[in-house]
Structure 1
């Protein structure tokens, strides 16, 4: 058991709702999905698709890449937010970046439009390390900088790693950013072919986590960032603990016996030093697929003993892949400050513990789960300030 805290002192976000945490919260509070119809997304003659893509914007000085702008924009917002709330950087500030596919738009352009040839300086923008390096340079941070990758669980993996760095004294503070702007035609098409991606109807018609009639998830994009510190100045809340496990079972499916999923939930509570009865909310992976929703419902009813209520924001933000659990954590943390839980509204018959729309928060902890493709199980325990 580890009872030390990783305080969340700053938050930044870029999502399908727009640039900044204000846009994210206002979008979630509206109960309306971030996705819009894209008519020029697929091959000529194809039907338009619903996508929660990050819109154009950001700082022009951050370059032309949407990926680089989003990474630096979210990171900058989190740092400036933390500074405004009283955080003072320690001697060693590290950077963790959760990333799965990297800057797929730029690589796509590199091969399909540039013929594999660019000026060296422009070629370097393809590397995820470049915007990371520029963010470190901007703020003069000199701690370790590295990436973590665990499919949809990457956000939780980053938070757990950040806490480990703080617990061991490896760093004084951590800036953690998760970035995924990979809603390209090819990526979206293959998730549709897998039978889990749904882009042919409005997101809330298709994605109904813990409700009847759910078909899967809409595609989303996001960058979410946090400043984490051992010092509590101005904190929104804290990461109390967490755990990760792996099913070692299948490239896409969850092991139906749920042994490792259960172990992950139980170990996270143990690591945080808390009891199931202290958990008030399960911020679920909740992609609206039958196997994921069933697995998390079992954990809600058994490990958490049906004391908690559950919600998912994927019908609203879309499934943001490598940034999914990070943007969903940002939603929970912003809710801590406002005393609200940003749940999606019901659209059909629901699990009795599923929250229905924006809800006034009650005292207690939030468990954030994420079940990444390939068997990556992850659970983080969050506490309001």
Structure 2
């Protein structure tokens, strides 16, 4: 099992907690949410909304937008981190970037403020290939570089793709980044209209995955990066395998029969070469919506053994959309490294398997699930390092 795993040997994070992975960990460990009332995201002056928005920070030389600066900062931190843990890049380092809505701030300015008029250089900054191209140039990497998009499941999809590249011998190493800094008043308003985003309450009052009284999620932003390799001395965690499927049912709703969801979990375990009884934790998608929480609770109870625990960090990080599953994988990886799971505090009656606050890590595997809007099912199996 361990021999088949791909090591997560470097982690970089930009989140609403701050511009490094330690800020993420400190925020989660404190049990406080990264969200705050953000006045500029309201539909009218003085009409602020609760959101976990990334600060306007980073190196201006990395690009004109928060998106480009966050992507480069997270990837750079992951590479530097991997180097301290014994990683040396091979000849073919590939880059995967999970993106659902890229450069929304620049596109919004392009259409609304500038009326489509930009210098060519500034227009090229809008292209999804540009951050990848400039990053490959910075490090002199020459492996394949491409974008991955599977809605909220994009982080899992990227990790599964990275492992497939490594298993096939296409690359020696992969730098994987998932970036979503798409919080604009327009985007938030439409998620509210869909009935899934909550903007009028503190997250722990509104987003309660697997607990009574949950009304949905508070929206968040993040850029998260991993270095994936089999040649690192001290990986944080091992990616053993995973699976993806599609409901082919509805543009927002999960097929209530859950056939494809159940099958995706079973396929992930089979791909990883492990048994359901080996799993100790379900790091759930857990957005706090009724249909997603019910679906994952059903799989937890039907597939896994009694004593398997479940948790979701969305009340703390917010729902980071295209970067959601990536930041949640980072939680598992850092948790294995530090010996504790920074689960949110339980605030209402809920599922008996739900973790409550900081919890020491026990032996066993973690399944990280992500159910992307539109029917994108995904699950990956993570193990502590040998």
Common fold by TM > 0.5: yes
2:309 alignment partner in structure 1: 309
- Measured against aligned partners, the alpha-carbon deviations of 1:271-296 in whole angstroms (never above 9, x if no partner) come to 11111111111000000000000000
In structure 1, runs of 5+ residues without a counterpart are none
Rounded to whole Å, the distance in 2 between the matches of 1:40 and 1:158 is 32
> What TM-score, normalized by structure 1, do the two folds share?
0.98
2:218 alignment partner in structure 1: 218
2:21 alignment partner in structure 1: 21
Rounded to whole Å, the distance in 1 between the matches of 2:98 and 2:44 is 34
Does the 8 A contact of 2:97 with 2:176 survive in 1?
Answer: yes
* Paired residue secondary structure (1:19): coil
2:167 alignment partner in structure 1: 167
* Paired residue secondary structure (1:250): coil
Rounded to whole Å, the distance in 2 between the matches of 1:156 and 1:3 is 21
Rounded to whole Å, the distance in 2 between the matches of 1:199 and 1:232 is 42
* Paired residue secondary structure (1:241): strand
Rounded to whole Å, the distance in 2 between the matches of 1:295 and 1:235 is 32
- Measured against aligned partners, the alpha-carbon deviations of 1:106-162 in whole angstroms (never above 9, x if no partner) come to 100111111111111111111121111111111110000000100000000000000
1:288 alignment partner in structure 2: 288
1:369 alignment partner in structure 2: 369
Deviation at 1:41, TM superposition (A): 2.1
Which segments of structure 1 move beyond 6 Å, counting only runs of 4 or more?
A: none
1:327 alignment partner in structure 2: 327
Rounded to whole Å, the distance in 2 between the matches of 1:268 and 1:377 is 11
* Paired residue secondary structure (1:326): helix
In structure 2, runs of 5+ residues without a counterpart are none
* Paired residue secondary structure (1:219): coil
Alignment of 1:234-249 (within 5 A): 234-249=234-249
* Paired residue secondary structure (2:378): strand
Distance 1:2 1:27, change over 3 A: closer
2:250 alignment partner in structure 1: 250
> What TM-score, normalized by structure 2, do the two folds share?
0.98
Tell me the C-alpha RMSD between the 2 structures. Answer: 1.2
Does residue 339 of structure 2 align to residue 339 of structure 1? yes
1:299 alignment partner in structure 2: 299
Rounded to whole Å, the distance in 1 between the matches of 2:238 and 2:180 is 24
Deviation at 1:45, TM superposition (A): 4.3
* Paired residue secondary structure (1:166): helix
1:349 alignment partner in structure 2: 349
1:32 alignment partner in structure 2: 32
Alignment of 1:73-152 (within 5 A): 73-152=73-152
Alignment of 1:44-55 (within 5 A): 44-45=44-45, 47-55=47-55
Deviation at 1:2, TM superposition (A): 11
1:358 alignment partner in structure 2: 358
Does residue 289 of structure 2 align to residue 268 of structure 1? no
Does the 8 A contact of 2:85 with 2:232 survive in 1?
Answer: no
2:67 alignment partner in structure 1: 67
Does the 8 A contact of 1:343 with 1:358 survive in 2?
Answer: yes
Does residue 208 of structure 2 align to residue 229 of structure 1? no
* Paired residue secondary structure (2:40): coil
Does the 8 A contact of 1:74 with 1:224 survive in 2?
Answer: yes
1:8 alignment partner in structure 2: 8
Does the 8 A contact of 1:94 with 1:175 survive in 2?
Answer: yes
Deviation at 1:57, TM superposition (A): 1.1
Moved more, 40-49 or 53-62: 40-49
Deviation at 1:233, TM superposition (A): 1.9
Rounded to whole Å, the distance in 2 between the matches of 1:90 and 1:368 is 28
Aligned residue pairs total 385
* Paired residue secondary structure (1:47): coil
- Measured against aligned partners, the alpha-carbon deviations of 1:162-219 in whole angstroms (never above 9, x if no partner) come to 0000001000000000000001101100000000000111011100000000000001
* Paired residue secondary structure (1:135): helix
Moved more, 60-69 or 42-51: 42-51
Does the 8 A contact of 2:39 with 2:45 survive in 1?
Answer: no
2:193 alignment partner in structure 1: 193
- Measured against aligned partners, the alpha-carbon deviations of 1:351-375 in whole angstroms (never above 9, x if no partner) come to 0000001111111111000000000
Does the 8 A contact of 1:174 with 1:229 survive in 2?
Answer: yes
Rounded to whole Å, the distance in 1 between the matches of 2:124 and 2:204 is 39
Does the 8 A contact of 2:12 with 2:76 survive in 1?
Answer: yes
Does the 8 A contact of 2:41 with 2:183 survive in 1?
Answer: no
Alignment of 1:173-188 (within 5 A): 173-188=173-188
* Paired residue secondary structure (2:371): strand
